[in-house]
Every structure is written in C-alpha cells, then in structure tokens.
Structure 1
Amino acid sequence: MNVGKLFRMIRHPRVLTRKLLHRLPKYYRNILLCFPNEKRIKGQINELLAKKPKNPIIIFPSPSCPWGYLFQRPQQLARAFAKLGYAVIYLVDTSFVGSPDWEVRGLFKIEENLYLYNDGLDGELLKKSLEGEKILIWQYWPHQRNVIKENLHHVNSIRIYDCIDHINTFDSYDKIQIDFENSLRESDYILATANGIANDLRQLGFNPLLIPNGVNINDFEQYQRIKWDDLDDLRLNSKVIVGYYGAIASWFDFSAIRYAAEMKPDWTFLIVGEVYSDVQKDVHALRRSYPNVIFKSRVSYDFIPQLLSYFDIAVLPFLINEITLNTSPVKIFEYLAGGKPVVSSNLPEVNGLSSVFISNNKIEFYEKLLEAETKKDDEQFILKLTKEAEENTWENRLNKVLTRVEELL
C-alpha cells in the first residue's frame, strides 16, 4: 500500500476499520461482521428456489467487480439476465468497503430476480444449497478459477469464460497465465468482447463467440433527475460542452483534449471519472493551462444518464495501444443511447459504428468535433444514433449466448 493511500484511509476511520476487519481470518471476521449461520443462508436460497426461476440459475463468482463501484459489463449482464427472467446470484465481498457490497450478509435482493450474495466463505454454501439445480457460472477474471473449482462447480453446472479484457490489463500474479488457460479449457463456452481478443484466443486453439459490450436503452430514456447546481451553471455558461466519463488512465489521449481546448477556448471540456495515479501530472497540467478543461470525480452509474444529458458532444479520446486495441468501450453505446454525437479515436471496436466520427490524431479529433457540433440538434441524426444503440442492447448480446447454452440444458 502506498503512503498516500494509507494517509487517506487514516483520515477516514470507518474505511480503515472496514479494511482491517476484512483482513482478519474468515472465522473471526464472519463473527465480528455478524454473518448469518448456514441454516439461515440456506433458508434464503430455498426461498429463491421456491419461486421456480427459469433454468439455469446464473452465478457471477467472487472475487468480483464490486457492485457499488464502476458499473461495468459483469453488472450489466447480471441485470440483463434478470430482466430476461433468470434468477441471478452475484457474489460480493467485504474487500470493497462501499455500499451496497459491504452491507450484504447472505442473500440480498437488489432488483427483481437479481441478488447480491456474501456468505463470508466465497460462496461455499451455494454449492450445498444448489446441489441438483442447473446453474450457469459466468467467469470473467482468471483469478476466479479457484473459487469456482472449490466452491461452485458441480455436475449440473455450465461454465462460461467471458474474456472481457486482454489478459495484460489485469493486475498480474504468479499463476495468472495458468489460471487463464485452464479456465479456457474448463469452460463450456468462451466469449470475447473484441476481435483482437478473439483472434488471440483462436491462436491458442479456442473458438470464441464474439459478444461486444452493449447498453440498456431504458436507463437513458427514463431516469430520475436531480438538482445538479454546478452542472446547471456550467450548462448556462458554456457555448458547447464536450464530455467524457470513465477511467482517466494511461490510455487517455491528453494531447487531443489539449489541442481542442486551445483551438476552442469558448467551449467547455468536461472530463468525469477516477484519475489513475500514473496520469495525475497530466491532469494537473491541463487544469493549470486550460481553464476550459474541467475535471470532476466519478459518479455512480445511476447518475450517468443525467450527466450525459449535459453534453453536446461525447468523446472517447484514447491512445492506440494493446489495451485499447482489445477494448469494446461500453460508453460508446451509452453515448449513442443518450442521443449525443460521438467523436472517438480510431479503435477497432468503434470504427464499425456508422454514426460515430472517427479521428486518427489530435488535428482530426478537433476537426471531427467541429463536424459533430453541426449535428447536435439534427433530429434525423439523433434518430440514427438511438437506432444504432437499439441494435446493441445487452439483451441482444445475451440472446446469442443463450442460444448456445440451451443446447446443454
């Protein structure tokens, strides 16, 4: 742990306490955190099974992408499964000290058919409780393999390995390559989010199904508005708002934003998201030199549709590297669903979208912004954007997978 992170935790005693509790041995941690006993948890699962859910039951294993952190592909797919009528059990743990993950003890209903789950034992009680039930285990990280093997896999289970990112994107550990390749071999079906990932898998001898990211259209058509004073003021005082939300990391093209901000000092460039430590100097430099470039902290997914409504143009300024060449950016489809003209770097998984303005360098990025600005109030163009979003929903993605899964049921 770096010194800066330690001092931030010390300034927030509750966070520090939760982190320390999570590091205790499971037995003592579960007592202190008041986990229900085995009988109570099995009773919760039996209540779920009594509702006669569709087969199979969908399980997203731990360690997981925290439900309350960045709302990404795993959470979106879990929601999409639930909307299709499947019971979904999404494992969380107390390593994430925020809500709702930290509060989950046993089975916790978050939406219709969708449950968060933490038994304090990495899902060990699920295997006992679901014996005889048909389940689909949706793995998306190499390091979930041990939990699946020890605590979840049984004779009636179907396993999918969803290659959501290039393996070099993950935090490395000694056995990551072994876990990755064994997970591929042990799965019934393998998915890839991007063509680059699919090609790499084919070279390893596998035949993946290409399932890019998608969007939930309803989230961007119907959402609760809140009073957002600073953005209301920004909207009133900005001729054009060029917006981005998401991770601000080493793949972010600061030079493209810098050039456009210099060329258009009367436009506002609003960048919202978590700033990774390796680019903090770049962020500070932009802030100092260009007052029309504004950075704001990340917001939860619930507020993304309203945030997007403030944009005139949405952007994806990414450098071209191994990570971005193998990325299916979920925000592209969200931008389209929000009816915003989009300017993006020339990424393989984006340049096939007919309504997106594609740039190859910082000068083209600026020129495409000028083109996009002429379309921001064009009703026919906005209709084209939303139509392309409708062709790329999470439900459409899942239906392709379920066609394969039904062959094994």
Structure 2
Amino acid sequence: MSILNFIFFSIASDFKSFHRKREIEAVIKVGDVKAVYYKPPESFLKGLRRIFSFRKDEQEFDNLKILNLYVLIPMTWALKSKALMYLFVELPIKLQVSYARRNYLNTKDVISWFYKPNQYLYLKNLKPYIYLHYDNYKDDISYKFSSSAQFDKTLIDCISNSLFTLISSSKLYEAYKTIKSNGIYYYPNAISRELIPSDVDKLNKQNENKVIGFIGQLDNSFDVELVKKISKAFKGYSIRLIGGYSEVVFEALDGCENIELLGYMKYELLGEEIKNFSIGICPYKDNSFNKFRNPLKITEYYSYGLPVVSVNCDIDDKAKEFMGIANTHDEFIKSIKAQLAENTLSKNIQRRKYAEKNCWDNRISFLMNKISDNKTQ
C-alpha cells in the first residue's frame, strides 16, 4: 500500500476540544500517515483581523498540521447561487488544499474526510472523500441545515459520491445503506485506549463509593426531570454530572443537595472520576433525535467495568448484554437498583473486554483494511 494521507475538514475551530480529536490522533499513529486539519471556513477578512490582532494559532502535533480555511465571502451569501459558491468558496478552498498537499503531505494519494451534509456543498469536488455521519442530523434542532429544502438531496449525493460513508448509528445505517451499493459501513463510536485502566486488581475490588455518574453535555437532549427523580430516589448517593451545562440546567438542579455539577473536564482526567462511580447513567429525553443516539459514554463507563443504565436509544447490540435499558422514569430508577444489586466481577470483566474491542485504534484498523481492499480491486 502506498503512503496514504488525510485532510480533515472539521466542524470545530479548536482541535483540542474537537469531539473526534482522539479518532484523528488514532489515524496519524498509523505508520507514516500525515494529516492536515482544516478549521471551519471563515471569510478572508475575518482572517486578516485575527492576523493583525497577533492572535496565535494552535501548534501542530506530530504528523498533523492545523490550518485555517478561508473563503472570499460568507457562506450564507455563497449559497444564493452556484456561481458564487464556485468562485468565492469552492475555488479558494481547492487552491488552499492543493497548496497543503504539495507542502505538508507531499503526495497525491490523499483522502478528504468530513462530518456533516452541508460540508458537501463546498467539498464535493475534493475526491476521494470519507463522509462520517455520527448523529441524526435530520431531527437535530441545533443543526440549521436540517431544515433546508436541500438537506435530503444533499445527504443522498454526499453518501452516493463518497469513497466510504461511516455511520455511527445502526438504525441510521439500516435507513441509509440502500443509497450506496458498497462502501457504506456501520462504524460505532469508540474510546481512546488510554482511558482503559491498567491496574486491574484495583478495578476488580468492590467499589465502596456511592456515586451515580454521568459524562456528557447537559443540553436540550438531557432529561433534567429524570435526574431530579434519581436524586430523590437515591438520597444516600452523590449524583455527579460531568460536562458543560446551561443556566437553565443549573437552575433546574440547584435545589438538589446530592447533585454535583462538575462542568467540562479534560478527557485525560475522566478516568480519575469514572473509577469513583458506582454506576454510569445515560438519562436522555424521549425524542426522535435521541432514538438514533449510540452513546459513547457507555463504552467509557465499561472501560472501568461499571454497570450502566440508559434510556432506550440506538445502543450497540453487544453493549446491551451487560446493562439496564429503561423506557420510563420509573423503569430507569428500578433498573439502577437492579444493576447495583446484581453487579458481579464476571460482568465487570465482560464490560472491560467490550471496551477493549471498541477503541479508536480498532476503528482505524478496520478503516485502513477497507481502504487497502479498495485499492486492490
């Protein structure tokens, strides 16, 4: 296989906080792979203001160059016509990518990689590309493009013309796999292998803490009312919620004495918190968006052998074997009690084994094999 490099077109302006950061790091750890990480497109004038303000950009990492991506007019203007899109968005991006290939990647064998259907509108000519579909965008009210008349056609075109389309939800995979006869795969979320503890003896000891834990954004998909009921049902437990939260969530939970809002925490520090959990929870609202959610945090909890309770969403079938799944608030509380009472060392070991098979290096190994197979066809 010849040297293969990647260009990632991110949806986050900060690589360090990008939620797929560890996936990209797993890619560049493979042999001689190099990559470019482009931040979301911004107008050239905004870029000039940053330059003259002497704001420093992020430092590049090993085998990874982090670059700004410039367009000549705001994207909202460009969407008004194909000519504007080509001249002031697609062409400038094509020139910048060409420069990056020559100066940073030193090879023509480059695969582009992006994450949302609207990116296809200005990246469609940068073939071959991988499209990663990791959420139910159609029902995501925070994703403005989902309400566009162009959404369905753009998504179909994006999947159809990709080298590979990777879908993290099994339900979405079943819904979309007929769009493309080959090169579309179920690709569930994963964790960094560094999260899995090496001290197995400590892990296997009975956890004497009384902590019910959650990791993730406390946003409009988070069921505040369910968590309040859990707080009342488990007064002898500390309910620790790790992740960014809004003022609305803070006010709703402020009166619950046993709830701790710990805020955003660096990934590298999560292990120290998870190991103190007695059980991990996934308390999401019952809505169309969450039904397609495949919670990454289940695997994070499993990395420490923890029992887990989740609402009924698009959980990986193999993960379901060692956890509780609830359809109502009352079922959720009963399931927490049952999972705590029925937890065993054997279940802990099985959960850890699941986590070990669902790390980012496993996913990238799968993907690289598919790329290699495609080259030999």
Range of TM-score over shorter length: 0.7 to 0.9
C-alpha spacing 1:63/1:369, structure 2 compared with 1 (3 Å): closer
Give the unaligned 5+ runs of structure 2.
43-54, 72-92, 200-207
Task: State the partner residue of 1:401.
Answer: 367
Q: Which residue of 2 aligns with 1:355?
A: 322
Instruction: Specify the alignment match of 1:109 in structure 2.
Output: 60
Tell me the CA shift for residue 171 of structure 1: 1.5
**Cα distance in 2, alignment partners of residues 209 and 308 from structure 1:** 31
- Identify if the C-alpha distance between structure 1 residues 274 and 371 changes in structure 2 by more than 3 Å, giving closer, same or farther: same
The counterpart of 1:220, out of the listed 182, 192, 196, is 196
Counterpart AA for 1:126? V
Structure-2 change in CA distance of 1:374 and 1:103 (3 Å): farther
Residue 253 in 1 paired to residue 201 in 2?
A: no
Q: Indicate if the aligned counterparts of 1:248 and 1:276 stay in contact, CA closer than 8 A.
A: yes
Q: Is the 8 A contact 1:355 1:388 kept in 2?
A: no
Residue 261 of structure 2 corresponds to 295
Asked whether the 8 Å contact 1:333–1:392 carries over to 2, the reply is yes
Does residue 121 of structure 2 align to residue 171 of structure 1?
Answer: no
* Counterparts of 1:407 and 1:385, CA distance in 2: 31
Tell me which amino acid in the other structure corresponds to 1:143. N
Q: Which residue of 2 aligns with 1:87?
A: 34
Percent pairwise identity: 18
1:178-193 to 2 correspondence within 5 Å? 178-193=153-168
Picking from 301, 308, 315, the partner of 1:342 is 308
AA aligned opposite 1:333 = T
How large is the RMSD of aligned CA atoms in angstroms? Answer: 3.1
Counterpart amino acid of residue 183 in structure 1: C
Tell me how far apart the structure 1 counterparts of residues 161 and 41 of structure 2 sit (CA, whole Å): 28
Structure 1 distance, partners of 2:233, 2:12, is: 43
1:252, 1:315 → 2: CA distance? 11
Q: Secondary structure at the match of 2:346?
A: helix
3-state SS in 2 of match to 1:115: strand
Residue type of the alignment partner of 1:68: K
Rate the CA distance shift 1:315–1:104 in 2: closer, same or farther, 3 A. same
Choose which of 113, 127, 132 in structure 1 pairs with 2:98. 127
Q: Give the counterpart letter for 1:81 in structure 2.
A: V
* Secondary structure, aligned partner of 2:16: coil
Compared CA separation, residues 109 and 285, structure 1 to 2 (3 A): closer
Partner of 2:235: 265
For structure 1, the residue ranges without an aligned partner over 5 or more in a row are 1-52, 96-101, 224-237
Provide Cα deviations, 1:197-237, integer angstroms capped at 9, x if missing partner.
Answer: 112213546652111111122233269xxxxxxxxxxxxxx
Corresponding pairs, count: 324
In structure 1, the residue corresponding to 2:15 is in which secondary structure? coil
Where has structure 1 moved over 6 Å in runs of 4 or more?
Answer: none
| TM-score normalised by L of structure 2 | 0.76
**Which residue of 2 is the match for residue 61 of structure 1?**
9
* CA–CA distance in structure 2, aligned partners of residues 128 and 93 of structure 1: 17
1:318–1:119 Cα change, 3 Å: closer
**2:23 aligned with 1:77:** yes
Contact 1:76–1:394 under 8 Å retained in 2: yes
| 1:213–1:54 CA distance, 2 compared to 1 (3 A) | farther
Instruction: Measure how far apart 1:259 and its partner are.
Output: 2.1
Deviation at 1:54, TM superposition (A): 6.4
Q: CA deviation at 1:167?
A: 2.1
Report the CA distance shift for 1:61/1:365 in structure 2 as closer, same or farther (over 3 A).
Answer: same
For residue 228 of structure 2, give the secondary structure of its aligned residue in structure 1.
helix
CA distance in 1, matches of 2:101, 2:354: 40
After TM superposition, the structure 1 = structure 2 runs for residues 26-65 of structure 1, keeping only pairs within 5 Å, are 55-64=3-12
Aligned to 1:306: 272
1:365 paired with 2:332, answer: yes
**The residue matched to 1:55 in structure 2 has which SS?**
coil
